[in-house]
């Protein structure tokens, strides 16, 4: 029962009397941009077409049929029927509802406990985590939380990039220039340097690439030395990743590397063969997708017999489906891989897997630096841990200036600093590219994570100071105050926001909402003194409590902490 249901019900009652039966009132009903025009507004233009009458006359006719007692005010302006709803009861009901449901408020049971998988983060071993991995990680994590809120059971899978020619290059580089003690001291940086150096040299001397390929071949053939080096590199890399994940409070249900699927690709190839899907083209084995509108076939086996990315992803998709019986399978991967996922779905479909359309590719935009694409190979990389450290330092500095007596400064600085970085990554539409600017990422003012956190901390501060808001009293009528009712209106939208964010796999919808809610609360906070001992104190506190609850819940879904003080 959200606020607009009164309006919808009354319109649904009246429209058939008017001769209109089949009309989606809820769809047509809109929220005026200017609240002076009403809380909800019904445009009559589409009816004008059906009835061949002017919108104004239609609005007038419908107006006559409406039971005006159900509303505070109804008027007609420019062909719109504007509804001002009776505030008191709906506001009371909403506050009671939020207080009863607590963090369950906003739950939408779409999933009925069914499992979904989310492929996310997926860093490459021997390479540092960059801002690009952060995107996949935090978007995936937020989606997992949102899906949970919607009744699904997400399995977060970290598909580690631990296989491929690149490791052949790394092994070759290590054999030429590597130093064990260096790697023990500073594993990822050292390995990265080796990798970058190798690629630089290979530019001058392409023969090096053959050497890299040879080492990868050794690895695939199970060469003892190659395997043990690979295991070592993998181990030290994973340890470092774990530290970052633990900083961000993100965990995974399962890690599977590309290597994990090495022995699972044969059966995929066999099945492709038995279905007569494989053909040979220029020495490689491919699946022809021309009938699906693809320009190129999907390359399954290279002409030298080695497997490819899609071969592994096919094996992984099939394996995961079998293991988890998931009803959908989400991949949070950069938009530059769109074609790959189109091919993946197309091949799965050709193989007869009906669930191929439950494979959902959730792309996100590219991060550039000074307008240039990041490239690990060329050493152009934004190190995630440097960004996070920077954010932490700035947050700590702010706390020392603004709230020097805060007890757990370091912890809060981490929550606020990381909150800024994570929020920045989530607040815009996923698909949007952005050019990395440190000063924007670690902003604490305006439309930022810390702004939302700060708003919540203010609310919490009030609740701390009031003595008895938890002792149940009657909710009184404070809703003539627009600032209070504005809060009610936006709180009321929360479940729909969750619903939309889930439908579009778009955390930014929730992030934008959190900003909006914070803004409306800050206005209320400025305008109305809450801690005044009168008979409406309890109600004001309930409003504050409800707001804080939804702010916290939004932040938590986005994977951001909501400290009580900052």
Q: H-type helices in 403-427, by residue range?
A: 409-426
Q: How far is the CB of 93 from RNA (least distance, A)?
A: 25
Indicate the residue among 329 and 508 with the shorter CB distance to RNA. Answer: 508
Q: Give kind and range of the element (H or E) at residue 35.
A: none
**Beta-carbon neighbour count of residue 209 at 10 Å?**
17
CB of 250 to RNA, least distance (A): 20
Shortest gap between Cβ of 199 and RNA (angstroms)?
Answer: 12
Using the CB atoms, write b or e for 432-444: b if 16+ within 10 Å. Answer: eebebeeeebbbb
**Of residues 118 and 308, the one with the C-beta less far from RNA:** 308
Q: Quick one: 99 or 461, whose CB is closer to RNA?
A: 461
In whole angstroms, how close is the CB of 340 to RNA at the nearest point? 5
Q: Which of 190, 194, 191, 111 is nearest to 154 (CA)?
A: 111
- Report whether 445 contacts 515 (CB < 8 A): no
**Smallest distance from RNA to CB 49, Å:** 6
Min dist CB 518 to RNA, Å, is: 7
Nearest approach, Cβ of 100 to RNA (angstroms)? Answer: 25
* Nearest to RNA of 316, 330 (CB atom): 316
**Residue 355 or 369 with smaller CB distance to RNA:** 369
What are residue 544's phi and psi, to 5 degrees? -65, -45
Cβ contact 521:459 at 8 Å: yes
Under 8 Å between Cβ of 376 and 195: yes
What is the C-alpha to C-alpha distance for residues 259 and 51, in angstroms, rounded to an integer? Answer: 66
Closer to RNA at the Cβ: 124 or 158? Answer: 124
Burial 170-193 (b: 16+ CB within 10 A, else e): bbbbbeeebeeeebeeebbebbbe
Give me the least distance between CB of 524 and RNA, in Å please.
Answer: 8
Nearer to RNA, 8 or 530 (CB): 530
Q: Using CB atoms within 10 Å of the CB of residue 230, give its burial: 0 to 12 exposed, 13 to 18 middle, 19+ buried.
A: buried
CA dist 17 and 12 (Å) reads: 9
115: CB partners within 8 A, 6+ apart: 152, 153, 154, 155, 324, 325, 326, 327
Classify the phi-psi angles of 32: left when phi > 0, otherwise alpha if psi is within -120 to 50, otherwise beta. beta
Minimum CB–partner distance for residue 113 and RNA (Å): 28
Residue 126 per-residue DSSP state: T
| Beta-carbon contacts of residue 357 (< 8 Å; ≥ 6 apart) | 345, 349
Residue 52 CB neighbours (<10 A): 8
Please say which residue, 148 or 564, places its beta carbon nearer to RNA: 564
Question: How far apart are CB 417 and RNA at their closest, in Å?
Answer: 8
**Closer residue to RNA, CB minimum distance, 229 or 399:** 399
Please say which residue, 45 or 353, places its beta carbon nearer to RNA: 45
Instruction: For residue 544, give Cα distances in angstroms to 91, 450, 453, 474, 477.
Output: 13, 18, 14, 16, 15
């Amino acid at each position: 029962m959200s606020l607009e249901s009164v309006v919808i019900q009354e319109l649904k009652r009246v429209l058939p009397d008017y001769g209109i039966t089949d009309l989606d009132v809820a769809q047509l009903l809109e929220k005026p941009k200017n609240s002076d025009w009403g809380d909800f507004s019904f445009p009559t233009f589409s009816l004008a077409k059906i009835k061949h009458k002017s919108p104004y006359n239609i609005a007038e006719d419908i107006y006559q049929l409406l039971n005006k007692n159900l509303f505070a005010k109804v008027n007609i302006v420019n062909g719109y029927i504007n509804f001002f709803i009776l505030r008191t009861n709906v506001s009371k009901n909403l506050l009671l509802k939020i207080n009863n449901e607590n963090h369950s408020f906003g739950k939408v049971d779409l999933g009925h406990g069914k499992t979904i998988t989310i492929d996310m983060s997926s860093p490459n071993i021997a390479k540092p985590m960059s801002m690009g991995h952060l995107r996949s990680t935090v978007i995936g994590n937020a989606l997992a939380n949102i899906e949970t809120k919607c009744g699904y059971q997400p399995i977060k899978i970290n598909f580690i990039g631990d296989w491929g020619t690149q490791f052949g290059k790394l092994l070759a580089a290590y054999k030429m220039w590597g130093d064990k003690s260096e790697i023990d001291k500073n594993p990822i940086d050292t390995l990265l340097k080796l990798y970058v150096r190798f690629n630089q040299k290979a530019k001058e001397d392409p023969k090096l690439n053959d050497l890299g390929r040879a080492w990868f071949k050794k690895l695939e053939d199970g060469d003892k030395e190659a395997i043990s080096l690979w295991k070592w590199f993998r181990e030290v890399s994973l340890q470092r990743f774990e530290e970052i994940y633990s900083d961000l409070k993100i965990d995974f249900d399962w890690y599977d590397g590309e290597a994990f699927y090495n022995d699972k690709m044969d059966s995929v190839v066999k099945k492709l063969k038995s279905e007569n899907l494989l053909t040979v083209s220029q020495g490689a084995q491919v699946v022809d997708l021309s009938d699906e509108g693809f320009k190129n076939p999907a390359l399954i086996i290279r002409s030298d017999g080695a497997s490819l990315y899609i071969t592994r992803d096919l094996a992984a998709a099939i394996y995961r489906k079998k293991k988890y019986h998931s009803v959908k399978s989400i991949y949070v991967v950069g938009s530059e891989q769109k074609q790959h996922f189109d091919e993946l779905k197309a091949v799965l479909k050709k193989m007869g897997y009906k669930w191929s359309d439950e494979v959902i590719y959730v792309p996100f935009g590219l991060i550039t630096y000074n307008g240039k694409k990041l490239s690990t190979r060329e050493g152009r990389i934004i190190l995630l841990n440097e960004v996070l450290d920077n954010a932490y330092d700035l947050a700590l500095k702010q706390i020392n200036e603004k709230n020097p007596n805060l007890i757990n400064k370091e912890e809060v600085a981490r929550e606020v600093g990381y909150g800024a970085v994570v929020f920045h990554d989530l607040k815009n539409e996923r698909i949007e590219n952005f050019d990395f600017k440190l000063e924007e990422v670690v902003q604490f003012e305006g439309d930022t994570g810390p702004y939302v956190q700060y708003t919540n901390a203010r609310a919490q501060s009030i609740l701390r100071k009031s003595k008895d808001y938890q002792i149940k009293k009657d909710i009184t009528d404070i809703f003539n105050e627009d600032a209070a009712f504005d809060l009610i209106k936006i709180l009321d939208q929360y479940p729909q926001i969750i619903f939309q964010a889930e439908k579009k796999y778009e955390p930014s919808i929730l992030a934008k909402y959190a900003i909006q809610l914070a803004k409306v609360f800050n206005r209320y906070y400025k305008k109305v003194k809450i801690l005044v001992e009168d008979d409406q104190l309890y109600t004001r506190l309930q409003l504050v409590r409800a707001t804080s609850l939804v702010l916290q819940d939004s932040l938590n879904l986005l994977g951001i902490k909501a400290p009580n003080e900052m």
